[in-house]
């Protein structure tokens, strides 16, 4: 049985943050691993993605995702592509019905967006690097290019690593401190010289600074292994790879 988290902020726009429950993968990928770039069995990933597509009401080919590289590149989707032709980007927008935009994450923040005044949707992969560099700003601009009005855009941030689990070093902090005054508010002291970074808070702040109303579902990927994959948790456990959750939205 699939588990799909939703946000009331996105209204009746069909969307979902899928947990790892209800999938065909096994071993360290047990559950709904939708990562085409993982070392999981291709057959299992294909089954998992088909289940997600079915839940979104589209054909498997209608669930499109990207080759994510922590960039700020946004693609405007006019037609679905095959899995092997995924463009290198970290966000997508569309005004075409029948296409489900998919974003893969395993600690980074999946962001789903919809315009309340136009048939336009977006999906973004916002890790710390992309969020700092402007992937959310570029996503909103791309939605505006399709006819959305910025003040009518709403965004939901899905399961991501929370501040209590995101320990970083001073060099990480310095990248934010150099970028803009006031970014230190997203850090709290940790053990020794370590700090803890508030990724969901930072992503929400970036969206709200754009004039976009936004909310976080409140789920921490690191702290709930039964429901979520986590890159950082897998790394701490010495596992060779990790699964990826999918978040999707469609008109």
CA 115 remoteness from chain centre: 18
Query: Residue 54 sits in which domain range?
Result: 4-162+198-250
Asked if the structure places residue 27 within a domain, the reply is yes
139-167: per-residue pLDDT in tens? 999 999 999 999 999 999 999 999 999 99
Q: What pTM was estimated for this model as a whole?
A: 0.97
What count of Cα atoms within 13 Å lies in the side-chain half-sphere of residue 226? 0
In the sheet that holds 121-126, the strands lie side by side as 74-76, 91-94, 121-126, 109-115, 153-157, 213-216
- The answer to whether position 216 is within a domain reads yes
Q: Is residue 18 part of a domain?
A: yes
Report whether pLDDT(207) > 80.
Answer: yes
Residue 92 included in any domain: yes
- Cα atoms in the 13 Å half-sphere on the side-chain side of 221: 32
Express each pLDDT in 161-205 by its tens digit: 999 999 999 999 999 988 888 999 999 999 999 999 999 999 999
Confidence bin at 219 (pLDDT 50/70/90): very high
Q: What is the pLDDT of residue 181?
A: 85
Q: Mean per-residue pLDDT for 206-217?
A: 98
**Is residue 215 over pLDDT 90?**
yes
Give a yes or no: residue 50 inside a domain.
yes
At residue 71, the pLDDT reads: 98
Report the pLDDT averaged over residues 92-99: 97
Q: Is residue 158 part of a domain?
A: yes
Residue 162's nearest CA partner among 200, 124, 208 is 200
Q: Is residue 93 part of a domain?
A: yes
* Domain assignment present for 185: no
Task: Please report, for the domain that includes residue 243, its CATH number.
Answer: 3.60.140.10
- pLDDT for 106-142, tens place per residue? 999 999 999 999 999 999 999 999 999 999 999 999 9
From the centroid of its chain, how far is CA 41? Answer: 23
Q: Which residues contact 211 (CB under 8 A, 6 or more apart)?
A: 150, 151
Domain count, the chain: 1
Phi, psi (deg, nearest 5) at residue 18: -85, 135
């Amino acid at each position: 049985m699939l588990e799909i988290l939703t946000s009331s902020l996105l209204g009746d726009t069909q969307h979902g943050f899928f947990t790892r429950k209800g999938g065909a993968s096994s071993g360290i990928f047990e559950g709904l691993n939708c990562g085409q770039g993982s070392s999981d069995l291709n057959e299992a990933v294909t089954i998992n993605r088909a289940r997600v597509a079915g839940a979104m009401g589209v054909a498997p080919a209608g669930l499109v995702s990207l080759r994510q590289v922590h960039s700020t590149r946004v693609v405007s989707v006019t037609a679905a592509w095959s899995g092997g032709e995924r463009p290198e980007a970290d966000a997508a927008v569309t005004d075409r019905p029948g296409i489900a935009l998919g974003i893969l994450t395993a600690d980074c923040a999946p962001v789903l967006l919809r315009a309340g005044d136009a048939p336009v949707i977006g999906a973004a992969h916002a890790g710390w690097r992309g969020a700092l560099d402007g992937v959310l700003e570029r996503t909103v601009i791309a939605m505006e290019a399709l006819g959305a009005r910025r003040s009518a855009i709403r965004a939901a941030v899905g399961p991501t690593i929370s501040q209590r689990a995101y320990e970083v070093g001073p060099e990480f902090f310095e990248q934010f401190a150099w970028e803009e005054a006031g970014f230190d508010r997203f850090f709290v002291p940790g053990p020794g010289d370590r700090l803890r970074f508030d990724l969901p808070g930072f992503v929400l702040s970036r969206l709200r600074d754009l004039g976009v109303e936004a909310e976080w579902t409140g789920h921490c990927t690191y702290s709930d292994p039964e429901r979520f994959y986590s890159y950082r948790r897998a790394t701490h456990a010495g596992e060779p790879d990790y699964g990826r959750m999918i978040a999707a939205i469609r008109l």
